[in-house]
């Protein structure tokens, strides 16, 4: 589904490489955590997976396509199969909670009743029905994060990548979100979650891809 082969990435003007000689395959239907210290390169790896950054060396294939030669339109089409939870949420400030969550479904035009019901159901699941007509500026950090999660899953993506998705919510909401993610995984969604939260991994065990200082240090099969 995603394959990194000896991939490196250096940010423009940076003196050191953020990612260096990273190789791994994400198999279709798999569930992994992505762990490692702050500054290790987790967000950089995610940005490459959603094709916001192209490797400066090596080969990256996403949905079996080498991303080096893809046009902006081809990238946009591939991204529609992905749910992405950004570390900094990236909600559109002029849209309400409901409109933000609906975005992946409205890209192709107006929603039908089933899709509208789906939006309501997912907003309810993350506990924000009472805020569905609010703008993001009126939400707490944890509420914004829950909107970002609802938006990422509403389309039942083939691939879900989530960058610290429970960093701003309490433990019980964290478990609820993990339940949602693992249910999607059981139905075939490939799942990769970057986290520092050991309790998440203990509660919901899955192998970890560990990145340190831009290198893959190990691929642990135990939680
Ligand atoms: N836009 C940028 N320009 C230059 N360097 C950057 C940029 N973004 C990140 N870096 C550098 O790349 C390295 C990896 O950063 P990255 O954000 O991928 O780490 P991370 O593992 O996601 O950290 P955290 O756990 O704090 O979110 C760091 O050394 C960082 O300083
Ligand atoms: Mg990060």
At residue 98, φ and ψ (nearest 5 deg) are -60, -40
The pick from 42, 45, 53, 85 for probing ligand 1's pocket by mutation, whose C-beta has the most ligand atoms within 8 angstroms, reads: 42
DSSP state of 162: E
b/e string for 74-84 if b means 16 or more Cβ within 10 A? ebeebbeebbb
The pick from 7, 35, 40 for probing ligand 1's pocket by mutation, whose C-beta has the most ligand atoms within 8 angstroms, reads: 40
Residue 119 or 16, more confident: 119
Which residues lie below 8 Å from residue 43, measured CB to CB, with a gap of 6+? 87, 163, 194
Ligand 1: distance of its center to the CA of 104 in Å?
Answer: 27
For residue 81, give both structure tokens. Answer: 């199969």
CATH superfamily for 1-81+157-223 is: P-loop containing nucleotide triphosphate hydrolases (3.40.50.300)
pLDDT, tens only, 162-209: 999 998 888 888 898 999 999 999 999 999 999 988 888 988 999 999
Distance CA(27)–CA(20), nearest Å, equals: 21
pLDDT, tens only, 29-69: 999 999 999 999 999 999 999 999 999 999 999 999 999 99
What are the start-end ranges of the E strands in 40-189? 57-62, 65-66, 82-85, 159-163
Q: What is the pTM of this model?
A: 0.93
**Considering only CA atoms, which residue is closest to atom 5 of ligand 1?**
11
**Domain segments of the chain as ranges:** 1-81+157-223, 92-156
């Amino acid at each position: 589904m995603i394959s990194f082969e000896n991939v490196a990435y250096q940010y423009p003007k940076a003196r050191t490489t953020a990612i260096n000689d990273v190789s791994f395959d994400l198999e279709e239907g798999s569930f992994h955590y992505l762990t490692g210290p702050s500054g290790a390169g987790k967000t950089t790896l995610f940005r490459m997976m959603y094709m916001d950054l192209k490797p400066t060396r090596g080969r990256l294939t996403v949905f079996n396509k080498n991303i080096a030669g893809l046009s902006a339109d081809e990238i946009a089409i591939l991204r529609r199969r992905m749910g992405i939870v950004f570390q900094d949420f990236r909600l559109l400030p002029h849209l309400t909670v409901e409109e933000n969550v609906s975005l992946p479904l409205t890209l192709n035009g107006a929603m039908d009743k089933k899709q509208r019901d789906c939006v309501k159901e997912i907003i309810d699941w993350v506990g924000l029905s009472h805020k569905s007509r609010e703008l993001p500026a009126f939400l707490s950090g944890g509420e914004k994060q829950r909107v970002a999660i609802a938006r990422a899953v509403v389309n039942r993506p083939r691939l879900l990548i989530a960058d610290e998705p429970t960093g701003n919510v309490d433990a019980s909401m964290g478990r609820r979100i993990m339940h949602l993610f693992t249910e999607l995984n059981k139905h075939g969604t490939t799942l990769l979650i970057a986290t520092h939260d050991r309790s998440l991994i203990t509660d919901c065990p899955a192998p970890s891809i560990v990145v340190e200082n831009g290198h893959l240090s190990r691929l642990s099969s135990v939680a």
